[in-house]
Each structure stands twice: as structure tokens, then as C-alpha cells.
């Protein structure tokens, strides 16, 4: 957790929960699990419990102390909508995000049905909270259809690790991220899969962000596609202040 981040599509990370468990093929080589399990059993370490789900109530108010507006990726080391995270705690996270209205919060999940359940159980979805789902292959495209029921002003897809070609339904979606898997055992990503998603986004006028090729040496592989980087952000965000502009859904 940090007030800055090396993740290309965000500026900071905030982990009010840590830990998770695998639910689909995209989880197989989870970077967060790989990192957390290195510290299992070390007394006093934040990951003493490895990648078991843990609630960090003492971290709830952290974004309120960050006065400069930031894009904040929530739970880069977890999934807020894991079934082991109590609903009341999730509502407390939403309360903080609502109060810290100078930030933009990016929620990403592989559990959109629980995200929708929470959306239906809170008074309103804060306008500064984005909703996203991970989609690694066509078999998991249903997540994007559930996402479209979330009343967020920005709804996005993270196709990372991309494990196959995708035919997207981009209506009422506002951003697409694509990335290859990294680290030991990384599964390959075909350039044509990436090009096809980019072209679908261009045709639908949806911002496209290419994060990385991945692989064991991801820095060496880089993140250029066809001679350039693709760093588009949602159109209704002022990238200088991170404030949202008017958006008609």
C-alpha cells in the first residue's frame, strides 16, 4: 500500500483488505499471492498470514490524509468483494471513498455479482468510485454484463492476464485495460488478441490502455503496441486534477 504506485494505470494503492483465493484461470499465477506468501509465518510482518484474507480496519481512513487528488487502486493485494469480507466493512470502505471526494477510486473485482449486491444495499454509489471487472478469456465475459448493472459513472474492463481472444460488448463501458501475465510461469499473449481488442475499442470510441506484454522479464518486453504506447484514460476525467466531468450514461 502506497501513496504512489508503479502500476501504470493508477497513481496510488490502498489495501483495506489483503489476501484472496483463486476462482478462475486468471488467478493461477497471482502476483499478489506470490508476494504475500514469501512472508508467511514471519512475526510482525503485514503478510505474516500469507495470502489469507485479512481485514485492516486501521487503514480505513488512510486516503483522507492524502490531500493531493489521486487515482487510487483499491485492494491491489486483494478483492474487496471476496465473500470473506463482511458487508459492513465494505460499506465502511465506501464511506471513506465518499468522504474523500477529491480522489478517484478504482475498484476491480472478479466477483461482480457481490459488487452488484453491495451496490443494491448502499444508499448511493459515489460518483468518484469506478467499477471494473477482470476478464481473462471469453468464458468470463459474463462479468462485463453484470458490471453494466453497477451504477458507477465509470465502468471498466481489465483484460489481464489476457489468455485468449475476446469479443467485447462495449456499450455502457468507459475504459479497457489489456496486459500480459508476468513472472515465472507467465502464459503467452498473442499480439493479434491485443490488436483486435484495441481495434474494437477504437471502433466503439472507448479509451484503450495497454499495460504490458508481460513475461518473465516484463521490463525488457516493454509495453509498446505497433510502435507506440496506448495510455488512454476515461474521457470524462480531467487528468490534471482527477476530477470527473459530466458524463451521460
The pTM of this model reads 0.94
pLDDT digits (tens, 9 = 90+) for 157-177: 999 999 999 999 999 999 999
pLDDT digits (tens, 9 = 90+) for 6-53: 899 999 999 999 999 999 999 999 999 999 999 999 999 999 999 999
Q: How confident is the model at residue 216 (pLDDT cuts 50, 70, 90)?
A: confident
Q: What is the DSSP letter of 54?
A: E
CA–CA gap between residue 9 and residue 27 (Å, rounded):
20
* pLDDT tens per residue across span 74-129: 999 999 999 999 999 999 999 999 999 999 999 999 999 999 999 999 989 999 99
Rounded CA-CA distance 169/183 in Å is 30
CB-CB neighbours of 125 under 10 Å: 18
- Please write the tens of the pLDDT for every residue from 146-156: 999 999 999 99
Among 67, 52, 9, residue whose Cα is nearest residue 211: 9
CA distances from 121 to 88, 91, 124, 144, 165 (A): 10, 9, 9, 20, 35
Amino acid at each position: 500500500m502506497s501513496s504512489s504506485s508503479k502500476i501504470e494505470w493508477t497513481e496510488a494503492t490502498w489495501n483495506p483488505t489483503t489476501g484472496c483465493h483463486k476462482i478462475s484461470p486468471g488467478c493461477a499465477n497471482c502476483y499478489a499471492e506470490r508476494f504475500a506468501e514469501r512472508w508467511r509465518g514471519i512475526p510482525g510482518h503485514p503478510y505474516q498470514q500469507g495470502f489469507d484474507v485479512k481485514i485492516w480496519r486501521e487503514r480505513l481512513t488512510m486516503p483522507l490524509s492524502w490531500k493531493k487528488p489521486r487515482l487510487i487502486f483499491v485492494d491491489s493485494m486483494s478483492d474487496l468483494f471476496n465473500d470473506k469480507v463482511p458487508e459492513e466493512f465494505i460499506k465502511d470502505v465506501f464511506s471513506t471513498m465518499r468522504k474523500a471526494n477529491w480522489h478517484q477510486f478504482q475498484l476491480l473485482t472478479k466477483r461482480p455479482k457481490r459488487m452488484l449486491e453491495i451496490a443494491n444495499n448502499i444508499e448511493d454509489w459515489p460518483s468518484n468510485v469506478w467499477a471494473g471487472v477482470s476478464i481473462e478469456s471469453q468464458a468470463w465475459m459474463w462479468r462485463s454484463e453484470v458490471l453494466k448493472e453497477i451504477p458507477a459513472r465509470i465502468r471498466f474492463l481489465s483484460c489481464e492476464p489476457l489468455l485468449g481472444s475476446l469479443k467485447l460488448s462495449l456499450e455502457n463501458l468507459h475504459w479497457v485495460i489489456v496486459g500480459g501475465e508476468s513472472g515465472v510461469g507467465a502464459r503467452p499473449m498473442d499480439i493479434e488478441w491485443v490488436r483486435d481488442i484495441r481495434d474494437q475499442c477504437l471502433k466503439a470510441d472507448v479509451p484503450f490502455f495497454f499495460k504490458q506484454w508481460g513475461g518473465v522479464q516484463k521490463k525488457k518486453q516493454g509495453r509498446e503496441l505497433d510502435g507506440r504506447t496506448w495510455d488512454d484514460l476515461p474521457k470524462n476525467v480531467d487528468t490534471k486534477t482527477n476530477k470527473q466531468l459530466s458524463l451521460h450514461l
